[in-house]
Amino acid sequence: MNKHKMTVTQKFRRTAATAALGMAALAVGMVPVTGQADETCMSPYMAKIVGQEDYVYVWTLGVEGVGDGQDKLVTVDVNPNSKTYGQVVNTLSVGGRNEAHHSGFTDDRMYLWAGGLDTNKVFIFDVHSDPRQPKLSKVITDFVSKSGGVVGPHTTYALPGRMMITGLSNNKDHGGRTALVEYTNEGEYVATYWMPTDDSLQGAKKTGNYADGYGYDVRVLPRRNSMFTSAFTGWSNYMMDFGKMLNDPEAMKRFGNTVVRWDLHQRKPKEVFDVPGAPLEIRCAWQPNHNYCFTTTALTSKIWLIHEDDQGQWRADEVADVGDPSKVPLPVDISISSDDSMLWVNTFMDGKTRGFDITDPFHPKQVHEEKIGAQVNMVSSSWDGKRLYYTSSLLANWDKKGADNEQYLKLYEWDGKNLAKKFEIDFMKENLGRAHQMRFGAYSLYARKPGEGSRVAQGD
């Protein structure tokens, strides 16, 4: 196995080298406290859990021969005062294997939307009626036809009364050209916004060499009327075996190299920035005078800062390395702290999490490094920064093989200097599958007496 990993890493290295003006928030009394996992990556239009979360919902990929083999939403009790702390308390299978990937709450935090990158289904879960036992409320099955050919629903991100979904691909060539797709909270299609390309910039300014039309994540800074999208790869790559892809020079050319800034209100692209090497998750600063966002590049192992300068112009600058880029550690998920002081960066290949001091966003400094497992993908941080949750699966065909195919949920506590593991759940031993993305849950205001339960804070 070690020999295999070294070969993959060397080949990856070789091919990689070539290769929102503020909007009014909802009234506190009307917002339930059903939460979102990485509280610091949630939409600013929602209330936030600032105390102890009660549950973590893990969107999980089914594995043939493991349990019922289906994708499922797994509910884990994470309240240390509970008798079932650290245990799976509910599973909800959705039928088949859809390449379960990302999920996100509506702005009223009553429903969780979760996408399947292969079947293009979007599953909508009721998480407010009983946060301990979510129910499947609706399944969107016509995403491709309604959107005009968008494939691979990825990020499901809350805007006021709307859900914005990023696509990863299209149904014409299964390449990386794609779009944003907007829905109402009720699951009704609204509009499709195609990513700008060289032959269709749609009024956007191309600031560098690329306008590739690729998509991945979306985040907003409402106070700057700005929405940002990043770029990954299309269906033909993300559904391919990882080793086969690394050996395919043409496949390694099919990765995105851009971040786009959009006019949030008008849903129009404004600027296309070069961010070479497949920029993935975007995390925007929370403090009112911090007009910037971070992203990391999977293939080149860099931290990039997307920021507004003193003249009001937006820029994209490379500001730090993640590990040793020559070894292609493959940065995947990132999490920013609520006070904009820390950025946690996970690297899939070496299974590590790294904490960066970002008090000077132009010069991030690594202050912690720890191996979480043979592989690690997602990291979700509590609003107070004291708890970090980790899951393992990247993509069904990209996860490691053999003994290194660890599938887990792990909780660590952070004291400012060290991570201390509190519990872990082996998803394979529990016959659940591949643990991918997390979202936090808590009892709603309607389900508690005054003074009980998790505390919430108003969105920006």
Q: Hunting for tokens 């936090």 — which residue is that?
A: 440
Q: What is the spatial distance between Cα 238 and Cα 218, in angstroms, rounded to a whole number?
A: 19
Q: Which pLDDT value is given to residue 39?
A: 82
Give me the mean pLDDT over the 439-456 stretch: 54
CB 247 within 8 A of CB 14: no
Please name which of 178, 252, 259, 179 lies closest in space to residue 226, comparing C-alpha atoms. Answer: 259
The mean per-residue pLDDT over the stretch 117-124 comes to: 98
Task: Measure the CA–CA gap between 35 and 42, rounded to whole angstroms.
Answer: 9
Q: What percent of the chain has pLDDT over 90?
A: 85
* Cα 289–Cα 292–Cα 297 angle in degrees, nearest 5: 160
Q: Phi/psi class of residue 308: alpha, beta or left (left: φ > 0; alpha: ψ in -120 to 50)?
A: beta
* Residue 9 φ then ψ, to 5°: -60, -45
pLDDT (mean) for 79-89: 97
Dist CA 301 CA 110 (whole Å)? 36
* Residue 69 burial class via C-beta count within 10 angstroms: exposed 0-12, middle 13-18, buried 19 and up: middle
Q: How confident is the model at residue 27 (pLDDT cuts 50, 70, 90)?
A: very low
> Two tokens at 455?
């505390």
Read off the pLDDT of each residue in 314-336 and give the average, rounded to a whole number: 97
Q: Following CA atoms 99, 348, 102, 233 in sequence, which dihedral angle do they give, to the nearest 10 degrees?
A: -70
Quick check: 5 pLDDT over 60? Answer: no
- CA geometry: angle 426, 237, 263, nearest 5 deg: 95
Bridge partners of 331, per DSSP, are 347
Higher-confidence residue: 49 or 278?
278
Question: What is the spatial distance between Cα 251 and Cα 236, in angstroms, rounded to a whole number?
Answer: 8
pLDDT digits (tens, 9 = 90+) for 136-189: 999 999 999 999 999 999 999 999 999 999 999 999 999 999 999 999 999 999
Average pLDDT score, the chain: 90
* Unique residue bearing structure tokens 């503020």: 22
Model confidence, pTM: 0.89
Percentage, residues of the chain above pLDDT 70 = 88
pLDDT tens readout for residues 295-314? 999 999 999 999 999 999 99
DSSP string, 100-153: EEEEEE-TTSSEEEEEETTT--EEEEE-SS-TTS-EEEEEE--HHHHHTSEEEE
Instruction: Flag whether pLDDT at 355 surpasses 80.
Output: yes
pLDDT at 139: 98
| Cα–Cα–Cα angle for 125, 171, 163, rounded to 5 degrees | 30
Q: pLDDT class for 221, splitting at 50, 70, 90? A: very high
pLDDT at 331 over 60: yes
**Using CA atoms, how far apart are residues 218 and 398, in angstroms rounded to an integer?**
23
Residues 6+ apart with CB under 8 A from 174: 151, 234, 235, 236
Sorted by sequence, the CB contacts under 8 Å of residue 448 that are 6+ apart come out as none
Tokens of 316: 């994209």
Tokens matching residue 34: 């059903």
User: Domain segments of the chain: what residues?
Assistant: 2-450
Q: Is the pLDDT of residue 51 over 90?
A: no
Mean pLDDT score, 11-31: 32
- Summarize pLDDT for 381-431 with one digit per residue, the tens: 999 999 999 999 999 999 999 999 999 999 999 999 999 999 999 999 999
What is the band of 38 on the pLDDT scale with cuts at 50, 70, 90? Answer: low
CATH 2.130.10.10 applies to domain 2-450:
yes
Terminus-to-terminus CA distance in the chain, angstroms? 48
Mean pLDDT of 432-449: 76
Per-residue tokens: 445? 């205001």
Length of the chain counted residue by residue: 460
Rounded CA separation 306/315 (Å): 6
pLDDT of 103 over the 80 cut: yes
Sorting pLDDT into bands at 50, 70 and 90, what band is 261?
Answer: very high
Residues 423-447: what's their mean pLDDT? 87
Those residues with Cβ within 8 angstroms of residue 19's Cβ, 6 or more apart along the chain or in another chain: 252, 253, 255, 277, 299
d(CA 356, CA 376): 17
Q: How far apart are CA 442 and CA 153, in angstroms?
A: 26
